[in-house]
Structure 1
């Protein structure tokens, strides 16, 4: 069965995304309207934990992540369909609940088809449950036709790079700190409806060789490194600089959700591992999975939940379950 037919009337293969079919997001409406949490889901560019394959990386480089993981409702490794690039493959799997194989020949760019028609999605399920749905991506809206795709996936609003200024850049792209500030502003807006915000960050996007490493940050990222850096650490140092900003973004979002007038649920994951060929050749090549976690403002003490491995297309349904758990 081709995608064109699936998009109009999801069949057996598309049934794996049944949680996003109209009328079947029943978990959320079980909660009274005032208790439905704001939900923020962040797809952080190239987010990974390099400490798992590189002993030279500072252990404190992901301090907010480590603290959040201990208190997370759910966390573990996310099987993603991309390596170093092709963000849209992971993004589509999370939003539609469909595995890449379900898209057949369209799996490498499913947005080509989604730009032409509506499709059941995570955002549409939240909107049906009374949420205002926002997609935030600090990059030109027409890239991958997201300006057409996101409305078809159930987003009321799409915020792109036009909402930011050159001062918001950190390196080559809009920084995670500026994105966190924008999310905080959205959460502070007066609205009786809860928010679902899906975020696609850009700060740690390659090529990492477009900017030099910073010697003044090595104590916090590669504490044992000499200067000048050897070739296998040059791009790694740039990556770690921005990874620290992703970690700081996580902390900022937790604070913003904690200050909101209703409960908050935060999901955070990476779309793929970074492109670091010299570092991988010297240290070791990572497995290619990305870390993920789901955290709630209601969970204030450490629970140290056992890690749960998910495929990217399963993450959205897990988020829906936790949104309705109260």
Structure 2
């Protein structure tokens, strides 16, 4: 009887090892569409080559674990937990941002406690209950098998078989890992069977090639591709060209001094009137912001992300480099590795400014501690160092009012020149607060009642931010010191609030309010829609102060291309560029060359003083 049980177990285990990867594929693929298994099944039926290649990869990884741990039950338990966890994380990111998990996102697991605070509590409870039940079932099953079935195989044979299986599986995995290597076996094979990766649009890549292959495709990518013609001579030609222009233009400009500058990147702050065509509301949540934009230099910030990815917008605004050329999250993979990364911080510090970064959350998110150190900030004040920590709503994030109070303290503590960079946190998802006095009502046939409720909660939040900004500006207006406030929203909110229009109106849902206000000589001016890499050059132009050759290059590029993100490119008049042929834009090629030189090249530009004012 024991032999029969043993045979049944072995056959069952073998079948499950072969069949369970199909379930894993369905789980992870369904996470792309709110765990709709029917859509996942239809996707694989329509794309059999994608299915089989994905299946072999999942099976290979299962066999590697099996050969290492030697237990079928433990192997499948581990793999199932990993798949469910990855699927849940992917689903949450898709819901929040309309984008799937990338390999580099896995490094964010170090901040798992912080990330959990951003997830809807009801969803979190469901996944915890599910995993707990799964653990209990697996323990019971494992104990049952050990008690009822006595395996008497030779240890030498078992270890030999596991060793052979491990070597074979690692070999297959090695072939998969080199799928991006031009000329490799797997690279040739995936092209032969008609699978083409869409590197320029990861949204389309995951949609066309499925989660597993697209995730693999992104596992070994270059930080930035080497542009044609890169060499020391080509970089130095660019450097000398813009040095001459900067030297001539700076003759009529002043040194930056006696003006405090405050950058405010406001979490998920958008202009609700931009979507009046789709969603009706009973009143304007941000009346003061609208008033301010009519009396100061203002426009729209064209941002590269939707629903999240705050650090990517922050990178563009502070460094004037663009995510357009990068294949990674620069705060994670680029900036911390480069000491003294050129930025607005290095510019103002060269003018004897004190640079302060403020973020009312944990400073470790997106490696901000290392990033701000690389940029040269004199100090970084996160939630643990703040003097003002009132929250809005109660139990939520530190309020914008508290954050502005912290900024005001920095500006007024001495007579020195200050640059302050504030990244707010108040309006971060999830939007599940309960207000007894929320006056905002939203009407739309495009929204479910649940989404309407979240949008009304969101409107209450940005209304509070609008009030906080009004109080802050009133205090700034009372200062004798000249002060400039540079404000923009980092991205549209997630959780499906505006997902009904994100496919067709990509420019709209990637455009946030932007204004540059001064408590002196402030008057209306129209910036139009511009990507955030132009933010600092616009600030310097408004103040009529001296610029580096790099800033001159940016102004030249701004005359060619107003918006430069992967999803949207705008020409000199702010019109969508339908066919974006990069070779037609000289300044863009020069800009790309400088990107590569600093990030992955020999840094000829930095050594030649390209980022400094002379």
TM-score relative to the length of structure 2: 0.45
Shift of 1:40: 0.6
**How far does the alpha carbon of each residue in 1:93-129 deviate from its partner, in whole angstroms, 9 at most, with x for none?**
1111011123x222x3444321122210011101111
1:313 counterpart residue number: 533
- Which of 496, 499, 510 matches 1:288? 510
Shift of 1:185: 1.1
Q: Distance in 2 between matches of 1:195 and 1:232?
A: 41
Q: Distance in 1 between matches of 2:314 and 2:251?
A: 23
2:452 counterpart residue number: 233
CA contact (8 A) 2:331 2:366 kept: no
Q: Distance in 2 between matches of 1:147 and 1:64?
A: 33
CA contact (8 A) 1:78 1:310 kept: yes
- Which of 357, 373, 377 matches 1:135? 357
Please give the root-mean-square deviation of Cα atoms over the aligned residues, in Å. Answer: 3.5
Q: Distance in 2 between matches of 1:281 and 1:308?
A: 25
Q: What secondary structure sits across from 2:458 in the alignment?
A: helix
Q: Distance in 1 between matches of 2:312 and 2:539?
A: 19
Say whether 1:199 aligns with 2:418.
no
Q: Distance in 1 between matches of 2:455 and 2:535?
A: 28
Q: Distance in 2 between matches of 1:325 and 1:244?
A: 35
Moved more, 38-47 or 251-260: 251-260
Shift of 1:152: 1.2
- Which of 48, 66, 85 matches 2:270? 48
Shift of 1:151: 1.9
1:173 counterpart residue number: 397
1:120 counterpart residue number: 342
CA contact (8 A) 2:356 2:380 kept: yes
CA contact (8 A) 1:231 1:278 kept: no
1:158 counterpart residue number: 380
CA contact (8 A) 1:80 1:271 kept: yes
Q: Distance in 1 between matches of 2:285 and 2:480?
A: 31
CA contact (8 A) 1:265 1:323 kept: no
CA contact (8 A) 1:51 1:59 kept: no
Shift of 1:235: 0.7
Shift of 1:288: 1.9
1:30 counterpart residue number: 254
Q: What secondary structure sits across from 1:248 in the alignment?
A: helix
Alignment of 1:253-292 (within 5 A): 253-277=472-496, 280-281=499-500, 286-292=508-514
- Which of 296, 305, 311 matches 1:88? 311
Shift of 1:67: 1.5
CA contact (8 A) 2:401 2:468 kept: yes
Say whether 1:101 aligns with 2:101.
no
Q: Distance in 1 between matches of 2:252 and 2:368?
A: 27
Shift of 1:85: 0.5
TM-score relative to the length of structure 1: 0.81
Q: Distance in 1 between matches of 2:527 and 2:429?
A: 29
C-alpha change, 1:125 and 1:279, in structure 2 (3 Å) is closer
Which structure has more relative contact order (CA 8 Å, sep 6+)? It is 1
- Structure 2: gaps spanning 5 or more residues: 1-221, 547-614
Q: What secondary structure sits across from 2:425 in the alignment?
A: coil
C-alpha change, 1:125 and 1:27, in structure 2 (3 Å) is farther
Q: Distance in 2 between matches of 1:32 and 1:312?
A: 21
- Which of 260, 265, 285 matches 1:61? 285
**How far does the alpha carbon of each residue in 1:149-195 deviate from its partner, in whole angstroms, 9 at most, with x for none?**
1021121111101123795111321110100111111121123x211
C-alpha change, 1:98 and 1:166, in structure 2 (3 Å) is closer
CA contact (8 A) 2:288 2:466 kept: yes
Tell which structure's C-alpha radius of gyration is larger.
Answer: 2
2:370 counterpart residue number: 148
Shift of 1:280: 4.2
Moved more, 277-286 or 161-170: 277-286
C-alpha change, 1:166 and 1:125, in structure 2 (3 Å) is closer
